């Protein structure tokens, strides 16, 4: 779907005159549309203005979006002041902890809904208000396909809460304390107290998890104006950014900059550099792949490795470091980070204002080096993510090395296999589980094709018997994802997934697996004849009977293609 472009000899339709309903009589369609619009109390003068659609993802189920109503008011202020008519409309809203089986299962639904509403309704430009993990990529995917001039406004991160001498924020601290509770070093009473202190303000998770990573990548791509992605949700600047987004959207009507001009192979590579320098979320790689795929740009995981070897990690935030998003913003945010990376970036890329990156970059007057390091003193000289290939992952797998334990990077060990999430839940803490700290935990049948919907279950818990003995990390691997706020030596997105007939589906407990980060390899050390025997006995999962689950099953692509629906990608 692409916003209609009238032939050269026809006048350009603007505002409410766009996309009239098809009654076979365009004049009647406009008459009816004006009549219904007037029932909402608009004057004809207002209805004659160009229209800015505002994507409203506010929802009582979405704590991360609870400021959306006031953001909409601020956007409307900007649109009205600039001479446009602001019209907000709801789309699917996705909140991580609120959805079964997982929000990832519905990212493409949100993208499809948003794309359809951007193209079907009359609007000249749009402001996309998103924030939580899947909402931002869904909106970028939709905008890339609809190609309506659009600016993205993120809700912004929550603030960390002082608590008994430390600071807490969702969700690295949630996982850290839960792991300690499982290990018996934190009491039930204390975990209950902490539950009420982890997320105490509006906004998205306060660490460099998926939501924050995607906000930064949206800035790196150019769909969020530079400096706007990390403003805290409750800061007054967030409302000023909303007002500015409304004003910018009106400017886009007379001087259109379309997502197809902003989301290009070069800007996608810039975003990959930023992802690596942030030590950002592994999920963001899937989302960026999906967004790029909407413009026919393919992310090659071998190229990711090249970029990773030449991009330092410069940002020191949780889950890998110490800071929170408010620290990153106060330290200089994306303008400071991009300045630091400038010799590695494609500087001709324009953003939604139409300005090349080289003109947007200015040497920052102040950078807090605790959170944004200088190139000469990086957190790590190489990037946070690496792709692995081998007989267990013919099309690749991902390891976040910046969140992993280096002593486990070269591991050959026995596999302890779980057939799916239910099996994992039933046996991981069983006293009878045959497992040692040197084994590799393997979870299969949790990829995008499965009813589990590729959940963030790749952070397999350390078996409680081992956790209580002080084991903090083990090699874990799966065809699912991991929260951007998690950490550990965790191999994710094994492709093809088990349910698609990938070698992962053939692994059995007792097999040996070799992981080598140095060689970027992941191999199943089982001879070919034995694997053939297992393959002959393997059966694909049952097809869901109806609805979205059925559509996902028939159309969803693998992780190396962004888990988008096949029919929605633009073939490059
Ligand atoms: Fe929404 Fe973390 S749950 S950003």
Q: How far is the CA of 117 from the centre of ligand 1 (A)?
A: 24
Q: How far is the CA of 192 from the centre of ligand 1 (A)?
A: 20
Please report the pLDDT score of residue 6 as a whole number: 46
- The two counts, helices (H) then strands (E), for the chain are 20, 14
Please report the pLDDT score of residue 8 as a whole number: 53
Q: How far is the CA of 212 from the centre of ligand 1 (A)?
A: 9
Q: Which atom of ligand 1 sits closest to the CA of residue 485?
A: 2
Does residue 398 sit in helix, strand or coil?
Answer: strand
Q: How far is the CA of 327 from the centre of ligand 1 (A)?
A: 18
Nearest-angstrom CA–CA distance, 252 and 246:
10
Residues 6+ apart with CB under 8 A from 204: 64, 131, 132, 133, 154, 155, 156, 157, 158, 211, 212, 215, 233
Please report the pLDDT score of residue 77 as a whole number: 98
Q: Which residue out of 104, 204, 232, 484 has the highest number of ligand 1 atoms within 8 Å of its CB and is therefore the one to mutate? A: 204
Q: How far is the CA of 203 from the centre of ligand 1 (A)?
A: 8
Q: Which atom of ligand 1 sits closest to the CA of residue 97?
A: 3
Nearest-angstrom CA–CA distance, 69 and 58:
7
Q: Which residue out of 62, 104, 110, 133 has the highest number of ligand 1 atoms within 8 Å of its CB and is therefore the one to mutate? A: 133
Nearest-angstrom CA–CA distance, 76 and 247:
9
Domain residue extents for the chain? 50-159+201-294+318-359, 161-195, 385-568
Angle separating helix axes 282-293 and 104-120, nearest 10 degrees: 30
Nearest-angstrom CA–CA distance, 359 and 125:
24
Q: Which residue out of 205, 214, 232 has the highest number of ligand 1 atoms within 8 Å of its CB and is therefore the one to mutate? A: 205
Q: Which atom of ligand 1 sits closest to the CA of residue 131?
A: 4
Q: Which atom of ligand 1 sits closest to the CA of residue 64?
A: 1
Please report the pLDDT score of residue 320 as a whole number: 84
Q: How far is the CA of 355 from the centre of ligand 1 (A)?
A: 31
Q: Which atom of ligand 1 sits closest to the CA of residue 204?
A: 4
For residues 449-475, one letter each, b for 16 or more C-beta atoms within 10 angstroms of the residue's C-beta and e for the rest, the string is bbbbbbbbbbbbbbbbebbeeeeebbb
Using CA atoms in the order 295, 134, 324, 224, what is the torsion angle rounded to 10 degrees? 40
CATH 3.50.30.80 fits 385-568, yes or no: yes
Q: Which atom of ligand 1 sits closest to the CA of residue 95?
A: 1
Residues 6+ apart with CB under 8 A from 307: 269, 272, 273, 276, 383
CA atoms within 13 A on the CB side of 101: 18
User: Nearest 5 degrees, angle CA 233-CA 224-CA 300?
Assistant: 120
Structure tokens at 270: 């810039």
Q: How far is the CA of 169 from the centre of ligand 1 (A)?
A: 11
Q: How many CB atoms lie within 10 A of CB 44?
A: 9
Atom 1 (ligand 1): residue with closest C-alpha?
A: 132
Q: How far is the CA of 452 from the centre of ligand 1 (A)?
A: 19
Q: How far is the CA of 60 from the centre of ligand 1 (A)?
A: 14
Binding pocket residue ranges, ligand 1, CB within 6 Å: 64, 95-97, 132-133, 170-171, 204-205, 209, 211
pLDDT tens string, the chain, 572 residues long: the values are: 444 444 455 667 899 999 999 999 999 999 999 999 999 999 999 999 999 999 999 999 999 999 999 999 999 999 999 999 999 999 999 999 999 999 999 999 999 999 999 999 999 999 999 999 999 999 999 999 999 999 999 999 999 999 999 999 998 899 889 989 988 999 999 999 999 999 999 999 999 999 999 999 999 999 999 999 999 999 999 999 999 999 999 999 999 999 999 999 999 999 999 999 999 999 999 999 999 999 999 999 999 999 999 999 999 999 888 899 999 999 999 999 999 999 999 999 999 999 999 999 999 999 999 999 999 999 999 998 999 999 999 999 999 998 899 999 999 999 999 999 999 999 999 999 999 999 999 999 999 999 889 999 999 999 999 999 999 999 999 999 998 778 899 999 999 999 999 999 999 999 999 999 999 999 999 999 999 999 999 999 889 999 999 999 999 999 999 999 999 988 65
Atom 2 (ligand 1): residue with closest C-alpha?
A: 205
Class assignment of domain 50-159+201-294+318-359? alpha beta
Q: How far is the CA of 58 from the centre of ligand 1 (A)?
A: 14
Residues 6+ apart with CB under 8 A from 506: 524, 526, 531, 534, 535, 538
Please report the pLDDT score of residue 216 as a whole number: 98
Q: How far is the CA of 132 from the centre of ligand 1 (A)?
A: 5
For residues 532-569, one letter each, b for 16 or more C-beta atoms within 10 angstroms of the residue's C-beta and e for the rest, the string is eebeeeeeebeeeeeeeeebbbeebbbbbbbbbbeebb
Atom 3 (ligand 1): residue with closest C-alpha?
A: 96
Q: How far is the CA of 75 from the centre of ligand 1 (A)?
A: 22
Q: Which atom of ligand 1 sits closest to the CA of residue 212?
A: 4
Q: Any alpha helices (H) in 314-402, and if so which ranges?
A: 325-331, 333-340, 357-360
Q: Which residue out of 57, 96, 99, 103 has the highest number of ligand 1 atoms within 8 Å of its CB and is therefore the one to mutate? A: 96
Q: Are 186 and 41 in contact (CB under 8 A)?
A: no
> pTM of the entire structure?
0.96
Q: How far is the CA of 282 from the centre of ligand 1 (A)?
A: 15
Q: Which residue out of 64, 283, 319 has the highest number of ligand 1 atoms within 8 Å of its CB and is therefore the one to mutate? A: 64
Beta strands of 450-545 (E only): which ranges? 475-478, 490-495, 512-516, 521-524
Residues 6+ apart with CB under 8 A from 405: 472, 473, 488, 489
């Amino acid at each position: 779907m692409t916003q209609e472009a009238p032939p050269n000899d026809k006048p350009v339709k603007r505002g409410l005159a766009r996309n009239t309903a098809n009654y076979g009589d365009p004049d009647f369609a406009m008459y009816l549309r004006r009549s219904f619009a007037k029932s909402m109390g608009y004057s004809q003068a207002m209805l004659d203005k160009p229209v800015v659609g505002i994507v409203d993802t506010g929802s009582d189920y979405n704590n991360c979006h609870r400021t959306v109503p006031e953001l909409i008011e601020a956007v409307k202020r900007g649109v009205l002041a600039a001479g446009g008519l602001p019209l907000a409309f709801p789309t699917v809203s996705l909140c991580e902890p609120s959805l079964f089986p997982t929000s990832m299962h519905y990212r493409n639904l949100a993208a499809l809904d948003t794309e359809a509403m951007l193209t079907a309704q009359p609007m000249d430009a749009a402001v996309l208000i998103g924030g939580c993990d899947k909402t931002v990529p869904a909106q970028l995917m939709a905008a890339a396909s609809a190609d309506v001039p659009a600016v993205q406004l993120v809700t912004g991160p929550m603030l960390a809460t002082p608590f008994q001498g430390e600071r807490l924020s969702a969700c690295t601290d949630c996982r850290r304390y839960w792991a300690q509770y499982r290990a018996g070093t934190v009491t039930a009473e204390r975990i209950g107290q902490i539950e009420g202190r982890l997320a105490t303000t509006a906004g998205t998770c306060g660490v460099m998890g998926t939501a924050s990573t995607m906000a930064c990548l949206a800035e790196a791509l150019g769909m969020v104006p530079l400096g706007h992605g990390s403003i805290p949700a409750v800061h007054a600047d967030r409302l000023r950014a909303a007002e500015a987004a409304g004003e910018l959207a009106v400017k886009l009507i007379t001087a259109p900059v379309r997502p197809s001009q902003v989301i290009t192979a070069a800007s996608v590579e810039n975003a990959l550099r930023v992802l690596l320098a942030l030590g950002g979320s592994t999920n963001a790689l899937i989302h960026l792949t999906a967004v790029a795929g909407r413009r026919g740009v393919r992310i090659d995981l071998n190229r990711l490795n090249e970029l990773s070897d030449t991009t330092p990690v410069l940002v020191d935030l949780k889950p890998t470091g110490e800071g929170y998003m408010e620290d990153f913003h106060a330290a200089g945010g994306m303008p400071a980070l991009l300045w630091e990376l400038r010799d590695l970036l494609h500087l001709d890329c324009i953003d939604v204002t139409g300005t090349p990156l080289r003109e947007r970059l200015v040497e920052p007057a102040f950078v807090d080096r605790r959170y944004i390091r200088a190139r000469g003193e990086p957190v790590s000289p190489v990037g946070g993510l690496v792709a692995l290939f081998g007989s267990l992952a013919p099309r690749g797998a991902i390891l976040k090395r910046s969140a992993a334990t280096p002593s486990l990077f070269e591991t050959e060990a026995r596999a302890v296999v779980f057939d799916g999430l239910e099996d994992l839940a039933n046996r991981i803490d069983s006293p009878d589980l045959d497992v040692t700290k040197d084994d590799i935990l393997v979870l299969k049948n949790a990829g995008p094709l499965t009813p589990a919907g590729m959940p963030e279950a790749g952070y397999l818990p350390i078996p409680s018997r081992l956790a209580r003995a002080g084991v903090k990390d083990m090699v874990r691997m799966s065809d699912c994802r991991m929260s951007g706020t998690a950490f550990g030596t965790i191999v994710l997105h094994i492709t093809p997934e088990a349910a698609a007939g990938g070698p992962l589906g053939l692994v059995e407990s007792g097999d040996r697996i070799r992981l080598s980060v140095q060689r970027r390899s992941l191999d199943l050390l089982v001879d070919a004849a034995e694997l053939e025997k297992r393959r002959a006995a393997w059966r694909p999962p049952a097809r869901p009977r109806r609805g979205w689950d059925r559509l996902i099953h028939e159309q969803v692509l693998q992780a190396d293609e962004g888990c988008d629906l096949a029919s929605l990608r633009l073939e490059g």
